[in-house]
């Protein structure tokens, strides 16, 4: 693996086509609660709203860029803070590295570490939490690596097929 630097940045209008492709990829819908495709119009509205404060929208998406040793900057994913609760100083977190060739290279770990510093410093949050399918070993390992602990199990929480369900892990990190 070459030398690289992971950078978090605000969502830009130029990200529309990438977001359209990723938000409409049924392969990743299981990680969240998406059940239907998003229109470009809906995503354009989201991009306009994304310029507002996290205190107004209660969410924040940051794009994950990798600055490679040759100086080329590549967008590889996104991190989200959502269900932001400024009264109780907490937020839920999610991360996705879009394409399989960019996964398992340490980008998600670096992005999460930067997001944790931002949440603790700029937002002065007390805790971050996430919900992860018990079968998603890579995500469970990532969150453990950056200091999250399993604090609960929601039994048969996610429907995986016609008659099958799986557990969802509630993970927390105190800042």
Write the pLDDT tens digit of every residue in 88-133: 999 999 999 988 888 999 999 999 999 999 999 999 999 999 999 9
- What domains sit in the chain, N to C, each tagged with a CATH number? 4-126 (3.40.630.30)
Q: What is the pLDDT of residue 93?
A: 98
Tokens 């998603």 locate to 136
The arithmetic mean of pLDDT across residues 129-150, rounded, is 96
For residue 85, the model assigns a pLDDT of: 97
Per-residue pLDDT of 25-66, as tens digits, reads 777 665 555 567 778 777 777 777 777 789 988 999 999 999
Whether the model clears a pTM of 0.95, i.e. scores above it, the answer is no
139 has pLDDT over 70: yes
Residues 52, 60: Cα–Cα separation, whole Å: 9
Structure tokens at 131: 């919900």
- Please report the sign of the dihedral spanned by the C-alpha atoms of residue 96, residue 97, residue 103, residue 109: negative
| Cβ-based burial of 164 (10 A; exposed 0-12, middle 13-18, buried ≥19) | exposed
The pLDDT, as a whole number, for residue 31 is 59
pLDDT at residue 5 tops 60: yes
């Amino acid at each position: 693996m070459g030398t690289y630097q992971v950078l978090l940045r605000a969502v830009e209008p130029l990200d529309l086509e990438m977001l359209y492709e990723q938000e409409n990829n049924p392969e990743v819908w299981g990680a969240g609660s998406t059940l239907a495709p998003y229109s470009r119009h809906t995503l354009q509205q989201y991009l306009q709203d994304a310029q507002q404060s996290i205190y107004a929208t209660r969410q924040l998406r940051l794009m994950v860029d990798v600055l490679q040793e040759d100086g080329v900057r590549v967008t590889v994913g996104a991190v989200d803070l959502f269900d932001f609760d400024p009264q109780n100083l907490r937020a839920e977190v999610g991360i996705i590295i879009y394409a399989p060739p960019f996964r398992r290279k340490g980008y998600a770990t670096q992005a999460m570490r930067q997001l944790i510093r931002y949440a603790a410093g700029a937002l002065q949050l007390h805790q971050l939490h996430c919900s992860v399918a018990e079968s998603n070993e890579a995500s469970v390992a990532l969150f453990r690596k950056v200091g999250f602990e399993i604090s609960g199990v929601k039994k048969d929480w996610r429907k995986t097929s016609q008659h099958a369900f799986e557990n969802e892990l509630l993970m927390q990190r105190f800042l």
